[in-house]
């Protein structure tokens, strides 16, 4: 879609309505749009501005299929391990079932998603040391997730859907082999990217901001 015909949305509206999209049409993604997302991603903050990440954009059908098979292998184990034994009420059960249907759909159709974006993080330790010892200012991951979120928000602004996924990590060695990724990189996230079939909207959250926010002293609550 050209810049002129694309509906414009504000930043806050975009991030409030950006939910995990797991169903996509066959419509290809413009390479220009992928670049826009990549450029937005690298504008995210990172410790010392070192940007400890790389992207791998997968569009080749055979590579997507190989990744989808590994993702499905991981999912098959994971879904058994996390299967809920009960729900507090019908609404909770319905919410879980809706989310699960979409998750299963993605696992079963990952190779058909137009683009799979891999986020690679070098296995480095960003902890700085001095004479007093280590200064643990945060794990390297903390300098990668903001870039992932920026990528996903930029996609939202372009009308493209994404979902943060990590199930491929269960078979990360094989993922590296499929894509020729050197051992020194973790494959931190896999983002399916495409034109979503679902609608954007504010997703339900069972822990609203006021419940998990204290003011001045831990436990002191306010209502918005
Ligand atoms: C660290 C992380 C790992 C995730 N892994 C997966 C995954 O492997 N597969 C998947 O379908 N969704 C995955 N998700 C997506 C979450 O299920 C989703 O963000 C959450 O349910 C909220 O979705 P909503 O914004 O649509 O409500 C992951 C999210 C995060 C932050």
Q: How confident is the model at residue 124, as a pLDDT?
A: 86
Q: What is the pLDDT of residue 186?
A: 97
Amino acid 2: pLDDT: 64
DSSP-assigned beta bridge partners for residue 186:
121
Residue at 222 is within a domain: no
Whole-number pLDDT of residue 95: 87
Rounded to the nearest angstrom, the gap between the alpha carbon of residue 102 and the centroid of all alpha carbons in its chain is: 15
CATH of the domain at 122: 3.40.109.10
Total domain count, the chain? 1
Tell me how far apart the alpha carbons of residues 152 and 137 are, in angstroms, rounded to a whole number: 26
Residue 169 CA to ligand 1 center (angstroms) comes to 14
Quote the domain boundaries for residue 67. 11-212
Return the pLDDT at 1.
63
Does residue 70 lie within any of the structural domains? yes
To test the ligand 1 pocket, which listed residue (106, 163, 186) has its Cβ within 8 A of the most ligand atoms? 163
Mean pLDDT by 10 residues, the chain (224 residues): 76 96 98 98 96 98 98 95 89 89 97 98 90 91 97 98 98 98 98 96 94 97 94
């Amino acid at each position: 879609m050209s810049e002129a015909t694309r509906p414009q949305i504000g930043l806050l509206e975009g991030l409030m309505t950006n939910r995990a999209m797991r169903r996509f049409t066959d419509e290809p993604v413009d390479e220009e749009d992928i670049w826009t997302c990549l450029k937005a991603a690298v504008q995210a903050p990172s410790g010392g501005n070192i940007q400890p990440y790389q992207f791998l954009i997968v569009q080749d059908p055979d590579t997507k299929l190989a990744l989808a098979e590994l993702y499905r292998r991981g999912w098959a184990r994971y879904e058994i391990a996390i299967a809920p034994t009960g729900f507090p009420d019908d609404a909770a059960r319905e919410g879980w079932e809706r989310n699960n249907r979409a998750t299963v759909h993605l696992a079963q159709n990952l190779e058909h998603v137009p683009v799979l974006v891999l986020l690679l993080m070098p296995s480095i330790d960003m902890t700085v040391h001095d004479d007093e010892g280590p200064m643990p200012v945060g794990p390297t991951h903390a300098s990668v997730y903001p870039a992932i979120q920026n990528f996903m928000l930029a996609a939202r602004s372009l009308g493209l859907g994404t979902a943060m996924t990590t199930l491929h990590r269960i078979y990360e060695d094989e993922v590296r082999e499929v894509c020729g990724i050197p051992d020194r990189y973790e494959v931190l996230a896999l983002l399916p990217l495409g034109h979503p079939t679902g609608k954007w909207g504010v997703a339900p959250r069972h822990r609203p901001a006021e419940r998990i926010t204290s003011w001045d002293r831990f436990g002191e609550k306010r209502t918005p």
